[in-house]
Amino acid sequence: MTETRIEHDSLGEIAVPADRLWGAQTQRSLENFPIGREKMPPEILRAFALLKRAAADANAALVPARMTEEKRAAVAAACGGILDGSLAPEFPLSVWQTGSGTQTNMNVNEVVANRGNALAGRRLLHPNDDVNMSQSSNDTFPTAMHIAAAEALERSLFPAVDGLIRTFLRLEEENRGVVKLGRTHLQDAVPIAFSQEISGWRGMLEQGRDQLRAAQKGLCRLAVGGTAVGTGLNAPKGFGALVCGALRRETGLPFEEDPNKFHALTSADGLVFAHGAVKALAADLMKIANDVRWLASGPRCGLGEISIPANEPGSSIMPGKVNPTQCEALTMVAVQVMGNDAAIGFAASQGNFQLNVFLPVMAYDFLQSVRLLGDAVRSFDRRCAAGIRANRDKMDENLRRSLMLVTALSPRIGYENAAAAAQKAHREGLSLREACLALGLLTGEEFDACLRPEDMI
């Protein structure tokens, strides 16, 4: 039987496992919300640790009589245990809790206080009076959510996207001068250089990265200092600015106070905007992955214009079959991101009066999107894109068979004659050259001079 100790809060006493650092409010949440398997993301807990440490520093500067140097140091040391992961088991709460994230804020407050007290060897810190000084769950959770989101983009998604961009730049250089068939509406179109096709993929990633950079600025505006309803009650003047300064130094990101705390507490538009950019990137990655698996389809009865790495057997019944599994994983992640975007949009619309109470689900979904997309892009880059090879003979064969090369003849013989030549060639199984000669539109020498695929790109 688990040994317990008795803790208390404003509702009375409650038994807490004796070997745990959390307190009464964490225990009540643990018992009252046995919902799902989704726990508060570690990125949020890291953000809270950064925030609580910065808040203690600010309080020590502004109200040193209450936040003594001994207390500040104890808070900082306890937050260090969250940042290095050693206190990870102390944060058991479900995402599906109070919509303001109050119970996670108190989970952090209780763990920091009890860990600080253990380090001090006496009851030095109180979770509300000291660790939560000058704060409210209503401003700390949206602040931690923004910190975690901005850091996730910086630490996970940007490096992954930059890596895939570098791979595509290399592939562009390797495939300069390789001419292939372009396609629109899944039908044959005019020629394109393979390097140009790859540059389109690269351009999507660069544009997506730039959009995310722009969106990250909104995430760097923080609610801290607004306390319960945006008025800043019980927070000393200048508190939010000092906290943001400490966070800037710690993370290297340009965090600043939201100038309108009433906006910051009740609106999640910054998160919605940023996730919209994440969704836009996911949409482009879906397109890139689909292009790659279409171009690699076959190996004999599909397009077969590129080959991609064979990473694992593709069938339990068809020997030798290999599938574009990295493309499939990336597209599934893109679908999840799009679903998360819908959830975040719905949740953000539910602000009432001075608070939005759908914060944990928004934080969870945003961080899941960034984490999955970053992981999937890195995997796709390493295990698929880096190994793309052009099947140049197949590209040339498909190009020479295309009837849409007739487009180059339009200026010489006119649109209607060019269409007639293409239709005759398709109907009778002729080459374009044979059709043009049969219709008397061009001589063989004229046809060869007019239709040069390498001049059409």
Task: Provide the annotated active-site residues.
Answer: 185, 315
Give the strand pairing for 179-184 and 187-193: antiparallel
Residue 3 gets which letter from DSSP? -
| CA angle centred on 159, ends 154 and 160, rounded to 5° | 120
Q: CA 42, CA 85: separation in Å to the nearest integer?
A: 9
Range list of β-strands (E), 26-131: none
Q: Is residue 227 within 8 Å of 214, Cβ to Cβ?
A: no
Which of these, 55, 53, 47, 50, lies nearest to 74 by C-alpha position?
A: 53
Q: Judging by beta carbons within 10 Å of its beta carbon (0-12, 13-18, 19+), is residue 353 exposed, middle or buried?
A: exposed
- DSSP H or E stretch at residue 182: strand 179-184
How far is residue 150 from each of residues 51, 140, 146, 220, measured CA to CA in Å?
Answer: 14, 15, 6, 7
DSSP conformation letters of 8-26 = EETTEEEEEETT----HHH
Retrieve residue 43's tokens: 């990125």
The strand pair at 306-307 and 4-9 is best described as: unpaired
Q: Are strands 256-257 and 221-222 parallel, antiparallel or unpaired?
A: parallel
With tokens 């570098």, the residue in question is 166
Per-residue H/E/C for 386-429: HHCEECHHHHHHHHHHCHHHHHHHHHHHCHHHHHHHHHHHHHHC
Question: In angstroms, what CA-CA distances link 274 with 111, 168, 216, 310, 344?
Answer: 31, 25, 6, 35, 11
- Helical axes 102-120 vs 69-83, angle rounded to 10°: 110
- Per DSSP, the three-state class of 181 is strand
Tokens of 389: 């090879």
What is the per-residue DSSP string for 268-294? -HHHHHHHHHHHHHHHHHHHHHHHHHH
According to DSSP, residue 155 is labeled I
Whole-angstrom CA distances from 353 to 263, 267, 358 are 10, 10, 13
